[in-house]
Structure 1
């Protein structure tokens, strides 16, 4: 399901298809084979997702009953602090997917400063990599544990 949603997220994000048009296509498919799966995937589409891995993590969390805010803007004392991939503002929990570009050039230094600022403001950050995508159940457990803490 995550892969399908990731593809739909990307199509909506870049404007290749509008959600209204996609909804009409889903409705027009009533009675056709596989339309129930398409409906489930369409219900999870969110154009705020900025990468396929981020979409896959979000879908796993949503299917587990967790509802993160995608691309959450975090402020502290009235000042912009960061924009995180997925977050729970009330619990001050952020989930960040770090692809390969996070380890190129100065990006790792910028990320370290951003995470230090989040931590100093009382936020907790769960950092994910490609390896975590192979165990999304484990990611869900980590987030559930953090939200329960």
Structure 2
């Protein structure tokens, strides 16, 4: 076991899903960056953030949140839409509220903005979920963050 989980194959640097520890750290970082923007937006809008314990109690075993690629899962509606190639996705409703509140309260949301645009583009172009590498997505986010900081400076 490494960091509380089995590693994959003969390579001690791979997870059971064939990712490196660096991939896992990057994915967690991307999620953390988006969550931090969401918390900042909610704080600026005067909306209380629900604690992890409160969220867990409210879900009471009905839903399990995992990072993409962390084992088999049925997938939420967004993943299902991409898998079926419907050409639509709920990102405007799910992430769009964060970007709207950010604009209304002067809080930049470059990470969430990139995730929203990327999800919309994937749906519109009927791209397969997972067809963009985490490195590619991170590069898009980093460019957007730099632009947001240069505008705000």
Fold agreement, TM-score > 0.5: no
Greater fraction of residues in strand: 1
- In the superposition, the TM-score normalised over structure 2's length comes to 0.36
Greater RCO structure (CA 8 Å; 6+ sep): 2
